[in-house]
Amino acid sequence: MGSDESRARIAVLLPTGFPHVATYLLPAGTPPPPVGSRVAAPFGPRLLTGLVAPGEVPVVPEGTTEREIVAVLDESSFLPEPFVDLLLRAAAYYFAPPGELLRAAVPGRLLDLGEASYVPTSRSIGAPPLEGRAAEVLSALLEMGRATPLELGARLGSHGLGKALRALLDGGLARIPSEGMRAARPPVSRGWIARGTADDPRLARRPKQKAALAHLAALGRPASAAELRAAGATPAVLASLAKEGLVSVVEEDRPADASRHALPPRAVEAFVPTDAQREAVEAVGRALAAGKEARFLLDGVTGSGKTEVYLAALERSIALGRQGILLVPEIALVPGLIRRVVGRFGTRVSLLHSGLSDGERSAAWERARRGEVDAVVGPRSAVFAPLPRLGLIVVDEAHDGSYKQAEAPRYDARTVARVRAHREGAVLLLGSATPSMEQEQAARDGSVTRLVLPARPGARDRAAVEVVDLRGEPARAGDHGRVLFASRTVELLRGAFDRGEQGIVLLNRRGFSPSLLCRACGQDFRCTSCSVARTYHRRGERLLCHYCGDLLPVPRACPACGSDVLMPVGFGTERLAERFEEIFPEIPYAVLDRDAAARRGGAARVLADFESGAAQALLGTQMVAKGHDFPNATVLAVLDADALLSFPDFRSAERTFQLVTQAAGRVGRGDRPGLVAVQTARPEHEAIAAAVAQDHPRFAAGELRFRRTFAYPPFSHLLLALWTARELPEAEESARAGRAEIARLPRLRLLGPAPAPLERLKGVYRVQLLVKSDSREALAEAGDRLRALPVPPRLDRDPQSLL
Ligand code: ADP
Ligand code: ZN
Ligand code: ZN
């Protein structure tokens, strides 16, 4: 290295799966860029944009050649140090490469170099002559002054061009100046505007152009190309209009797009906050004013007005000059909440979620980063919203499992929110009618302050819950002994419909029915790579594996015995809809499930139909039970509470209790009382019984006892290690080696290795080891050791599902 010894090095967080931050040399004479600024760095054959990381520069391993930063892209830091630090901590905690967190947090476009151009440096003048391709490229560069690889390729051919450019960069003979690189520029949106009118004589014989221009002129605002295409104006039509000077493209900052995800506006009801609401807001307000970290659990029964507390708390934070984040389980499922947020904060709120295009997401993110919005609303990834003066993080439906990302990086937004609130001196407000056992225990031991909203405002009672016992209920012929609609359930729904009220039916399965069965031999059409039964989808007559997505056409005859009596057993939302039509032929209904949400208009349209009354019934999966506020819905039927209850997971009772209680929260929110019918064959089960009583403290008391006895969270911390292999013995062997590696570490309890509940998925065997500990440090040590193994497992810290 010689003279390089004295040169400055920086640590860089790159958006790759590289397990650490990387180290780079700074070009001679370049002042060290501040932490959080973006730099362009060579990585393998590519050039990447990374963030300058704080702290000690790691020691460079022996024998690695050090590379130099190619360009510093920001003059001042792009993200503050605590933000970069948050990503690094989260990466370490979840045993994830830091780059994975960077990619989860920062929109790709802000880390996208685009087509960089190259310029020759002064060193290239007196340099010893080069050979071959590099020499050609350098002389072309010297001649052109500045060129992109595309331009060089057009001139010299693309063969070996990348390698030659790399060699020139590494030798210091060429550089990439930062200005003009895409990642250094803030994103803007491009929109078309009208500059002429549709009665322009040039358009007399061009109906498409005429229509497009009329449309654009009528809009009276810039419109995106995608939006115009939907209105029939193709890029070719726009291009021909542009040639005539009748339209042109402008660039602008994108306005908040919140209205797209909101229910249609309705008159805001002004109400006087209840005493409990006022006290909760005051408590949060005092913590905000103190400007120090604080944590609250807003424990309020469904319909008690938690949203009002969130919004008032956000207003307090804003009044103190700080911004807030409102996390929700899923944007598409809360159009009513978005409407209220938009009604309150207008364009000072921005939505951040994965349904946005990368450009839209970047624009929303940039507005947040520049402090141009007061609040950000979004699902788990919005916990990384780069608000410069964060005062408050609200987590709505804080018990919801979707806050934990199921794929890598497997972070939990609630944990990240807690760390972030601590680092930035912000207030964390978790809200739920059914707090998780972790949250419940934290409130009991005082590590979060509980704020209670004990009742619904006004004289409204909570919905009653009635058990509909399925034992002894006769099944319909052809339903294979299973009951879809019990007669009592039908009676209750009919009552609501007759009174002109609305009903909701919840069945937690997609498709026509869960499976297809051969009545002659019992063949059940499992997915051969996942060991789970395929779901029968009547639309398209297909058998779908919901784990790996593999589709099979429905066979004419049983492949095992040749019989042609194949019949669907069990029920899914499609079958539910069909049966519903049979029983209630005159009732218009809408279906809400993943399939519906993926369709045009999505969940917001389905929910709007139900709100407007166009649909008198709403049928669907768990999605129908999440947080909606429909005053005219009075009866909700949970058809298969038992399905959740028998899930092989220690949280199955908690999930069942939450589902039934949340379901009860969806009805009786208006002036008329609500009723929930829970169909079950296990009415005596504590999760059902406590939900019927809507008694969270009672459920929590029993459930916490169980968790303590078996050392499950919140009384232990979990780490789930999973090994996969084409052959079972291979996966088992790796898992045994994993167990041996950590067997002697203190304060751990190891369960397994054992086949995962989903033993085979997508063609690979899965063997898992569950690590329990009362010490986070011990668990961290175990995870680090497992990660360093020759065959490292997939690690899931604080897993939400053990499947
Ligand atoms: P939660 O989020 O706790 O389930 P919401 O915030 O959705 O409850 O409120 C339930 C309903 O009660 C909403 O229609 C809301 O407008 C109404 N509401 C909230 N606070 C009050 C109040 N103080 N007085 C009257 N109605 C209220
Ligand atoms: Zn058969
Ligand atoms: Zn499968």
- The full DSSP string for 686-715 is HHHHHHHTT-HHHHHHHHHHHHHHTT-TTS
Q: Which secondary-structure segment (H or E) carries 560?
A: none
User: What does the block give as tokens for 19?
Assistant: 């397990």
Report, as an integer, the average pLDDT of 752-774. Answer: 86
Mean pLDDT across the stretch 406-420? 96
Q: Is 306 in the pocket of ligand 1 (CB under 6 A)?
A: yes
Query: Rounded to an integer, what distance in angstroms lies between the CA atom of residue 664 and that of residue 658?
Result: 10
The protein residue with its alpha carbon nearest to ligand 1, atom 15, reads 305
Take atom 19 of ligand 1 and give the residue whose Cα is closest: 305
**Which residue(s) pair with 466 in the sheet?**
677
The predicted model gives 574-597 an average pLDDT of 90
Residue type, 122: S
| All residues with CB under 5 Å from ion ligand 3 | 527, 529-530, 545, 547-548, 550
Buried b (16+ CB within 10 A) or exposed e, 32-58: ebbbbbbbbbbbeeebbbbbbbbeeee
Give one DSSP letter per residue of 57-123, joined into a string: PPPPPTTPPP-B--EE--SS-SS-HHHHHHHHHHHHHTT--HHHHHHHHS-GGGG---S--BEE-TH
Number of the ligand 1 atom closest to the C-alpha atom of 336: 7
**Confidence check: pLDDT of 188 > 70:** no
Q: How many CA atoms lie within 13 A of 472 on its CB side?
A: 5
Q: How big is the CA angle at 527 (ends 523 and 531), to the nearest 5 degrees?
A: 90
Asked if residue 424 has its Cβ within 6 Å of ligand 1, the reply is no
Asked whether 156 and 220 are in contact (CB, 8 A), the reply is no
Using the atom order of ligand 1, give the atom closest to the CA of residue 665: 4
Task: Tell me how far apart the alpha carbons of residues 453 and 461 are, in angstroms, rounded to a whole number.
Answer: 13
Quick count: other Cβ atoms within 10 Å of Cβ 236? 10
Give me the residues near ligand 2 (ion), CB cutoff below 5 Å.
Answer: 518, 520-521, 523, 558, 560-561, 563
Confidence of residue 741 (pLDDT cuts 50, 70, 90): very high
What pLDDT was estimated at residue 338? Answer: 87
CA of 562 to the centre of ligand 2 (A): 6
Residue 316 has pLDDT above 90, yes or no: yes
pLDDT per position as a tens digit, 193-230: 888 888 888 988 898 999 999 888 888 777 888 888 88
- Whether pLDDT at 254 is above 70: no
Q: Are 659 and 641 in contact (CB under 8 A)?
A: yes
- Centre of ligand 2 from the C-alpha of residue 512, in Å: 20
Cα Rg, the chain, nearest whole Å: 30
Question: Does the Cβ of 457 fall within 6 Å of ligand 1?
Answer: yes
Cβ burial, residue 214 (10 Å; 0-12/13-18/19+): middle
pLDDT tens digits, one per residue of 8-67: 889 999 999 888 899 898 877 788 899 999 999 888 777 889 999 987 665 555 556 678
Q: What is d(CA 715, CA 563) in angstroms, rounded to the nearest whole number? A: 53
Q: What 3-state DSSP class applies to 782? A: helix
The pLDDT-based confidence of 4 (bands split at 50, 70, 90) is very low
Ligand nearest to the CA of 531: 3
- For residue 499, what are the contacts with CB-CB under 8 A and spacing of at least 6? 634, 672
Q: Which atom of ligand 1 is nearest to the CA of 433?
A: 3
Atom of ligand 1 nearest to the CA of 308: 6
Judge if the beta carbon of residue 303 lies within 6 A of ligand 1.
yes
Q: Whose CA is nearest to atom 17 of ligand 1?
A: 305
From residue 513, how far is each of 48, 521, 570, 616 by CA, in Å? Answer: 47, 19, 5, 23
Question: Residues with Cβ < 8 Å from 278, sequence gap 6 or more?
Answer: none
Q: Nearest 5 degrees, angle CA 169-CA 173-CA 177?
A: 65
Mean pLDDT, rounded, for 409-437? 97
- Tell whether ligand 1 has an atom less than 6 A from the beta carbon of residue 634: no
From 754, 653, 777, 775, select the one nearest 703 (Cα to Cα). Answer: 653
Return the top range by mean pLDDT from 137-151, 284-298, 468-482, 623-637: 284-298
pLDDT of residue 2: 41
Task: Give the CA distances from residue 247 to residues 215, 231, 242, in Å, rounded to whole numbers and listed in that order.
Answer: 12, 16, 5
**Residue 1: per-residue pLDDT:** 40
Rounded Cα gap, residues 694 and 662, in angstroms: 10
| Shortest-distance atom of ligand 1 to CA 271 | 24
Residue type, 204: A
Q: Give the three-class secondary structure for 793.
A: coil
- The three-state DSSP-derived secondary structure of 171-225 is CCCEECCCCCCHHHCCCCEEEEEECCCCCCHHHCCCHHHHHHHHHHHHHCCCECH
Which ligand is closest in space to the CA of residue 309?
1
Q: Is 434 in the pocket of ligand 1 (CB under 6 A)?
A: no
Neighbours of 362 (CB within 10 A): 24
Give the pLDDT band (50/70/90) at residue 443: very high
DSSP structure class, residue 623: G
User: What are the tens digits of pLDDT across the range 711-740?
Assistant: 899 999 999 999 999 999 999 999 999 999
Average pLDDT over residues 163-186: 81
Short-list 509, 524, 623, 636, CA closest to 575: 509
On whether the CB atoms of residues 694 and 466 are closer than 8 A, the answer is no
Pick the residue with more confidence: 220 or 263?
220
How many C-beta neighbours within 10 Å does residue 480 have? 14
CB 366 within 8 A of CB 254: no
Say whether pLDDT at 330 is over 70.
Answer: yes
Q: Provide the pLDDT confidence category of residue 165 given band limits of 50, 70 and 90.
A: confident
For residue 439, the model assigns a pLDDT of 98
Task: Please tell me which residue, 77 or 129, carries the higher pLDDT value.
Answer: 77
380 confidence band (pLDDT: 50, 70, 90): very high
Taking each continuous run of H as one helix and of E as one strand, the counts in the chain are 25, 31
pLDDT, tens digit, 9 for 90 and up, residues 60-117:
555 566 788 888 888 888 999 999 999 999 999 999 999 999 999 999 888 888 778 8
Can you give the pLDDT at residue 3?
A: 44
Residue 461 has pLDDT above 90, yes or no: no
Angle at 232 between CA 227 and CA 233, to 5 degrees: 75
pLDDT of residue 80: 93
